[in-house]
Amino acid sequence: MAFVGKSLADGTLPVAKTTLYTVPATTRAVIKQINCVHNGSVGTVQRVEIFVKRSGSTSKYLCDVSALASAERIEALDSGLTLAAGDIIEGRTTTVSVVDYVIDGAEETP
Protein backbone atom coordinates (compact mmCIF):
# COMPACT_ATOMS: atom_id res chain seq x y z
CA MET A 1 0.00 0.00 0.00
CA ALA A 2 1.02 3.63 -0.39
CA PHE A 3 1.68 6.15 2.32
CA VAL A 4 -1.37 8.32 3.04
CA GLY A 5 -0.55 11.89 4.12
CA LYS A 6 -2.58 13.48 6.91
CA SER A 7 -2.54 15.32 10.19
CA LEU A 8 -1.50 12.59 12.63
CA ALA A 9 -2.17 14.44 15.89
CA ASP A 10 -2.86 17.87 17.35
CA GLY A 11 -3.65 19.38 20.72
CA THR A 12 -2.12 21.31 23.58
CA LEU A 13 1.17 20.23 25.15
CA PRO A 14 0.88 18.98 28.74
CA VAL A 15 3.29 19.81 31.58
CA ALA A 16 4.20 16.16 32.21
CA LYS A 17 5.83 14.13 29.43
CA THR A 18 2.87 12.53 27.65
CA THR A 19 2.27 10.56 24.46
CA LEU A 20 1.19 12.82 21.61
CA TYR A 21 1.09 10.19 18.84
CA THR A 22 1.54 6.41 18.67
CA VAL A 23 2.07 4.57 15.39
CA PRO A 24 -0.79 2.05 15.09
CA ALA A 25 -0.15 -1.71 14.95
CA THR A 26 0.97 -3.05 11.55
CA THR A 27 1.62 0.50 10.36
CA ARG A 28 4.67 2.57 9.44
CA ALA A 29 4.69 6.35 9.68
CA VAL A 30 6.77 9.20 8.38
CA ILE A 31 6.58 12.34 10.47
CA LYS A 32 7.07 15.33 8.16
CA GLN A 33 6.62 18.20 10.63
CA ILE A 34 5.91 18.93 14.26
CA ASN A 35 4.89 22.55 14.77
CA CYS A 36 4.43 24.19 18.17
CA VAL A 37 2.90 27.63 18.82
CA HIS A 38 2.90 29.60 22.08
CA ASN A 39 -0.62 30.99 22.51
CA GLY A 40 -0.17 32.31 26.04
CA SER A 41 0.28 35.73 27.57
CA VAL A 42 2.74 38.25 26.18
CA GLY A 43 5.90 38.32 28.26
CA THR A 44 5.80 34.65 29.23
CA VAL A 45 8.19 32.06 27.84
CA GLN A 46 7.74 28.31 27.61
CA ARG A 47 10.15 25.43 27.48
CA VAL A 48 9.10 22.95 24.80
CA GLU A 49 10.44 19.39 24.75
CA ILE A 50 9.56 16.82 22.09
CA PHE A 51 10.78 13.21 22.26
CA VAL A 52 10.74 10.05 20.16
CA LYS A 53 10.40 6.70 21.93
CA ARG A 54 11.07 3.66 19.78
CA SER A 55 9.01 0.60 20.68
CA GLY A 56 10.71 -1.14 23.62
CA SER A 57 13.28 1.66 24.09
CA THR A 58 13.64 4.86 26.11
CA SER A 59 12.73 8.43 25.15
CA LYS A 60 15.23 10.47 23.11
CA TYR A 61 15.10 14.24 22.54
CA LEU A 62 13.93 15.52 19.16
CA CYS A 63 13.63 19.14 20.28
CA ASP A 64 14.38 21.16 23.41
CA VAL A 65 13.57 24.87 23.17
CA SER A 66 14.08 26.72 26.45
CA ALA A 67 12.53 30.10 25.59
CA LEU A 68 9.53 30.00 23.25
CA ALA A 69 8.01 33.49 23.45
CA SER A 70 4.33 34.39 23.18
CA ALA A 71 2.99 34.16 19.59
CA GLU A 72 6.20 32.43 18.49
CA ARG A 73 6.17 29.20 16.44
CA ILE A 74 8.83 26.53 16.16
CA GLU A 75 9.26 23.54 13.92
CA ALA A 76 10.27 20.85 16.37
CA LEU A 77 10.90 18.57 13.41
CA ASP A 78 11.13 19.67 9.79
CA SER A 79 13.17 17.00 8.00
CA GLY A 80 11.22 13.75 8.29
CA LEU A 81 11.36 10.88 10.76
CA THR A 82 10.44 7.27 9.97
CA LEU A 83 8.65 5.35 12.70
CA ALA A 84 7.61 1.71 13.09
CA ALA A 85 4.48 0.25 14.70
CA GLY A 86 4.40 1.09 18.41
CA ASP A 87 6.87 3.99 18.20
CA ILE A 88 5.75 7.10 20.10
CA ILE A 89 6.12 10.88 19.91
CA GLU A 90 6.00 12.50 23.36
CA GLY A 91 6.03 16.09 24.53
CA ARG A 92 5.74 18.56 27.40
CA THR A 93 5.96 22.27 28.18
CA THR A 94 6.21 24.60 31.15
CA THR A 95 2.57 25.71 31.57
CA VAL A 96 -0.57 23.72 30.76
CA SER A 97 -2.91 24.98 27.97
CA VAL A 98 -0.36 27.40 26.49
CA VAL A 99 1.48 25.63 23.63
CA ASP A 100 -0.46 24.05 20.76
CA TYR A 101 1.08 21.36 18.55
CA VAL A 102 0.34 19.75 15.17
CA ILE A 103 2.02 16.58 13.91
CA ASP A 104 1.82 16.09 10.12
CA GLY A 105 2.99 13.09 8.18
CA ALA A 106 1.91 9.90 6.44
CA GLU A 107 0.99 6.37 7.45
CA GLU A 108 1.28 3.11 5.51
CA THR A 109 -0.58 -0.03 6.46
CA PRO A 110 0.30 -3.18 4.49
40-75 pLDDT tens trace: 887 889 999 999 999 999 999 999 998 999 999 999
pLDDT digits (tens, 9 = 90+) for 36-47: 999 988 788 999
Rounded to two decimals, the pTM is 0.92
Number of independent structural domains in the chain: 1
Burial category of 60 from C-beta neighbours within 10 Å (exposed 0-12, middle 13-18, buried 19 and up):
exposed
Tens of pLDDT, residues 7-34: 999 999 999 999 999 999 999 999 999 9
Give the structural domain span for 59: 4-108
3-state secondary structure of 20: strand
- Partners of residue 85 on adjacent β-strands: none
- The domain that holds 13 is classified in CATH as 2.60.120.340
Residue from 5, 26, 21 nearest 105 by CA: 5
Question: What is residue 16's predicted lDDT score, i.e. its pLDDT?
Answer: 97
List CB contacts of 17: < 8 A, sequence separation 6 or more. Answer: 49, 51, 59, 90, 91, 92
